[in-house]
Amino acid sequence: MLMDTTELRSILYVDDEPDIRQIVQLALGLTAGLTVHTGESGEQALALARELQPDLLLLDVMMPGLDGPGTLQRLRADSAIAHIPVIFMTAKAMAREIALFRKMGAVGVIAKPFDPMQLGKQVLSLWKDHAAELLTHG
Partner 1 sequence: MGERDKDSLRPLVAELGAKFLERTRGEAVVLRELLERAHLGGPTVMDQLEHLAHRIHGTGATFGFAAVSECGAEIERLVEGLKARDVSADAAIEPQCLQRLMQCTQRLAQEVEAAAAR
Question: CA-CA distance, 110 to 89, in Å (whole number)?
Answer: 5
Interaction mask 42-61, partner 1, x per CB under 8 A? --------------------
Q: Does 30 bind partner 1 (CB under 8 A)?
A: yes
- Which residue, among 60, 65, 105, has the nearest Cα to 82 in the 3D structure? 105
Choices 5-13, 16-24, 35-43, 71-79 (CB under 8 A): range interacting with partner 1: 16-24
**Minimum distance, C-beta of residue 71 to partner 1, in the bound complex (Å):** 18
Residue nearer to partner 1 on the CB measure, 94 or 117: 117
